[in-house]
């Protein structure tokens, strides 16, 4: 390795090592050992090959010196040829060992990445919804990418580098001292001139790199948000493209300036260290030549010392920054372990039982609930804040009790923020109650297996979320074993057959990010079809038609009628017309059930429900009336006419649609 290459490596190591002064954590080292243990055989071979490669690297300069001596002394040609052949054999062995070492290094590193990534991914999958509502997605993804790769470098780069450098350094020092301890001493005196600039300049470059990385991170976040369909729409609607461009350009220009400054610092750094290396070589040749002329050394020894000099400086400079490399790797491991150590709030009991078969009831018994505080579900580093709020959550549900018998529809109505969606999220155990219990088919949801609960409860939310994948893949998410006939059946029941037939690739058409290539009504019907494919016994609808126009709502309501038929259901509705035929309507305000009864009973009571109802209908809300009462002349097809409201009695519900 040339001195210039050594200078570049030294600068790179110093620049990319994190300036972390924390002491080694034995617990972290033990956990690292736990991840390394399955790969111990490969690690042993890797270390042995690294030692052998380091030993061979020192042999070549010694043999080269002997060649020079043989030439100067006028030895037989055969001696020179044999030495040359031996150097060639060593070179071949070095190449073979380098390839083998690289194979073990990459294999160990990639296996470690696989282990860490799957461990983090599986762990994050078990985290509660509260974790994802607080965490920045980019910061979490960074743990799966940057930090995992940083941890992998501890095995593939740092470990092998430390071992091979120590072996190379010891062998080289022994050989150089054996040749001339005086030249070795003078060569070592130049080491600080070589190492100190590397650490100082490396720190400056590291600061510039971090600043550039921060700017790039912000630009990446800006692009991710603005280049999504909702973000691009928002920017265009508010007419801010020029301001967005100017803000982006400021950071991009700063990154450009940092790039120029970094390039110049690197050039100055490498030039200076190359100059130092040239001075060191000049010292070896000058002092060595002096000794050779005085018959203290032979010419071959001088050549060997010059070649060994690079073998000496390279490991010394690498080891000088080894602590920073090790600490950098440890920091990456600790950031990964930080995520793994965050205990999921929702955990399945060891003795959990399946949800009983047959029709399923849902019962809330004196339920009280507060959203968990930040320190219980998140990490400050993932939220990118200095510290998490440790205050306890404020109770949002107070003593809720009600029961939905098998096959019944329970409707939840009330003001925004009253706690309706919270109630819905407790049934599939997205959160756990603080007090009281929720039972499915007579068993507490905390006592049943997660898989059986997911198979029993199905939910449709108002956003109708879809993955950036095909229609088929989004449907099969609910039931991967479903056949083509099953898919065709649910598409027919969700009023989607004609839509799918009109798509360019049918079921294999990609719906786009969050399903944005489809209309709102089409997305909702697709999520309903997915629900039908899952065949849950309990259905939860969280304002599934809240943001739809009257035509789309009619089609979605028809699909909902299929979804609710014969199933226990809890329906959250803003439009009261959609729940008039519910078996029981619960009026929720401030986390409490303030009224309960049928539509007629609640109207007769002239309480909060009656106020909500009159606000929507008696005060002449044209939008609500249009969404609720589609007349015969407005129906443009038999399908929409079947899904419309009966204008004579003003009744409309998902249950009445079932009969149609």
Ranges 97-101, 241-245, 261-265, 334-338, most confident: 97-101
HSE-CB of 151 using CA atoms within 13 angstroms: 28
Do residue 198 and residue 315 come from a single domain?
yes
Verify that 96 and 137 share a domain, yes or no. yes
Shared domain for 295 and 373, answered yes or no, is: no
Range of the domain at 257: 3-15+24-340
* Residue 348, domain member (yes or no): no
- Whether residue 649 is predicted with pLDDT greater than 50 in this model: the reply is no
pLDDT digits (tens, 9 = 90+) for 407-446: 899 999 988 888 998 999 999 998 899 999 999 999 999 9
Q: Do 328 and 380 fall within a single domain? A: no
Answer whether residue 638 shows pLDDT above 60: no
Boundary residue ending a domain (340, 374, 399) = 340
Sheet containing 435-440, strands listed edge to edge, beginning at the edge strand earlier in sequence: 395-404, 362-370, 435-440, 443-444
Residue 156 lies in a domain: yes
Whether 357 is in a domain gets the answer: no
List the one residue out of 137, 130, 144 whose CA is nearest residue 382: 137
pLDDT at residue 641 greater than cutoff 60: no
What is residue 596's predicted lDDT score, i.e. its pLDDT? 92
- Say whether both 409 and 505 belong to one domain: yes
Considering 340, 372, 387, which residue would you say is the last residue of a domain?
Answer: 340
Same domain, residue pair 245 and 392 = no
The verdict on residue 60 lying in a domain is yes
Does the predicted model carry a pTM greater than 0.85? no
Calculate the CA dihedral of residues 232, 236, 238, 239 and round it to 10 degrees. Answer: 130
- In a domain, residue 144? The reply is yes
b/e burial code for range 404-416 (CB count within 10 A of at least 16 → b):
beebbbbbbbbee
User: Residues 384, 424: one domain?
Assistant: yes
The pLDDT of residue 455 is above 60: yes
Count of the separate structural domains present in the chain: 2
Looking at the fold, whether 175 and 318 belong to one and the same domain comes out as yes
- In a shared domain, residues 544 and 644: yes
User: Which domain CATH number covers 335?
Assistant: 1.20.1560.10
pLDDT at 353 over 90: yes
473 lies in the same domain as 580 = yes
Say which CATH number the domain at 484 has: 3.40.50.300
Is residue 3 predicted with pLDDT exceeding 80?
no
| Residue-level pLDDT at 19 | 46
Q: Could you tell me whether strands 443-444 and 435-440 are parallel, antiparallel, or unpaired per DSSP bridges? A: antiparallel
Per-residue pLDDT tens digits for 250-280? 888 888 888 888 888 777 776 776 777 777 7
Residue 349 lies in a domain: no
Pair 412, 322 in one domain: no
* Secondary structure (3-state) at 192: helix
| Separation in Å, CA 452 to CA 5, 27, 348, 353, 535 | 60, 37, 11, 8, 12
By CB atoms closer than 10 A (0-12, 13-18, 19+), residue 270 is: middle
Lowest mean pLDDT among 5-14, 42-51, 264-273: 5-14
Judgement on whether residues 618 and 491 belong to the same structural domain of the protein = yes
């Amino acid at each position: 390795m040339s001195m210039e290459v050594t200078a570049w490596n030294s600068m790179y190591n110093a620049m990319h090592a994190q300036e972390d002064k924390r002491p080694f954590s034995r617990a972290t080292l033990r956990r690292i050992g736990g991840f390394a243990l399955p790969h111990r055989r490969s690690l042993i071979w890797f270390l042995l090959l690294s030692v052998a490669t380091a030993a061979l690297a020192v042999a070549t300069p010694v043999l080269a010196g002997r060649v020079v001596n043989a030439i100067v002394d006028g030895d037989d040609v055969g001696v020179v040829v044999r030495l040359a052949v031996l150097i060639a054999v060593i070179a071949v062995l070095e190449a073979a060992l380098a390839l083998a070492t690289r194979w073990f290094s990459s294999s160990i590193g990639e296996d470690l990445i696989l282990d860490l990534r799957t461990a983090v991914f599986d762990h994050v999958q078990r985290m509660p919804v509260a974790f994802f509502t607080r965490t920045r997605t980019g910061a979490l993804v960074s743990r799966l990418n940057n930090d995992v790769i940083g941890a992998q470098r501890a095995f593939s780069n740092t470990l092998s580098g430390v071992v091979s450098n120590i072996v190379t350094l010891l062998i080289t020092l022994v050989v150089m001292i054996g040749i001339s301890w005086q030249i070795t001493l003078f060569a070592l005196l130049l080491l600080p001139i070589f190492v100190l600039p590397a650490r100082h300049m490396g720190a400056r470059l590291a600061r510039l790199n971090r600043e550039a990385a921060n700017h790039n991170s912000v630009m990446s976040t800006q692009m991710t948000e603005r280049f999504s369909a909702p973000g691009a729409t928002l920017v265009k609607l508010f007419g801010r493209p020029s301001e967005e461009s100017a803000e982006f350009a400021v950071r991009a220009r700063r990154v450009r300036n940092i790039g120029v400054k970094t390039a110049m610092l690197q050039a100055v750094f490498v030039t200076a260290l190359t100059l130092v290396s040239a001075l060191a070589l000049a010292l070896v040749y000058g002092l060595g030549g002096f000794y050779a002329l005085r018959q203290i050394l032979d010419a071959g020894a001088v050549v060997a010392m010059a070649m060994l000099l690079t073998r000496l400086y390279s490991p010394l400079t690498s080891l000088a920054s080894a602590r920073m490399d090790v600490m950098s790797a440890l920091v990456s491991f600790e950031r990964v372990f930080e995520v793994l150590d965050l205990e999921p709030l929702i955990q399945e009991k060891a003795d959990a039982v399946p949800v009983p078969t047959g029709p399923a009831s849902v019962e809330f018994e004196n339920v009280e609930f507060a959203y968990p505080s930040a320190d219980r579900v998140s990490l400050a580093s993932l939220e990118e804040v200095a510290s998490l709020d440790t205050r306890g959550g404020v109770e949002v549900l107070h003593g809720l009790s009600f029961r939905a018998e098998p096959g019944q529809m329970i409707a939840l109505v009330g003001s925004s923020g009253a706690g309706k969606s919270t109630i819905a999220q407790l049934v599939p155990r997205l959160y756990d109650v603080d007090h009281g219990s929720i039972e499915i088919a007579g068993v507490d949801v905390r006592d049943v297996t997660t898989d059986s609960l997911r198979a029993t409860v199905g939910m449709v939310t108002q956003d109708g979320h879809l993955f950036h994948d095909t229609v088929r893949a989004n449907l099969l998410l609910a039931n991967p074993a479903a056949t083509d006939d099953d898919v065709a059946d649910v598409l027919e029941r969700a009023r989607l057959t004609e839509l799918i037939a009109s798509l360019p690739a049918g079921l294999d058409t990609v719906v786009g990010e969050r399903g944005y290539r489809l209309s709102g009504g089409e997305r909702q019907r697709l999520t309903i079809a997915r629900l039908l494919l899952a065949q849950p016994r309990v259905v939860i609808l969280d304002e599934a038609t809240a943001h739809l126009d009257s035509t789309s709502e009619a089609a979605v309501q028809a699909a909902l009628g299929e979804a609710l038929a014969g199933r226990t259901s809890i329906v959250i509705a803003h439009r009261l017309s959609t729940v008039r035929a519910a078996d029981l309507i619960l009026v929720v305000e401030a986390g409490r059930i303030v009224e309960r009864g049928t539509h007629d009973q609640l109207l007769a009571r002239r309480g909060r429900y009656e106020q909500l109802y009159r606000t929507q209908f008696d005060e002449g809300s044209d939008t609500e009336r249009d969404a609720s009462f589609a007349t015969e002349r407005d129906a443009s097809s038999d399908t929409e006419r079947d899904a419309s409201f009966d204008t004579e009695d003003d009744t409309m519900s998902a249950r009445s649609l079932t009969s149609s």
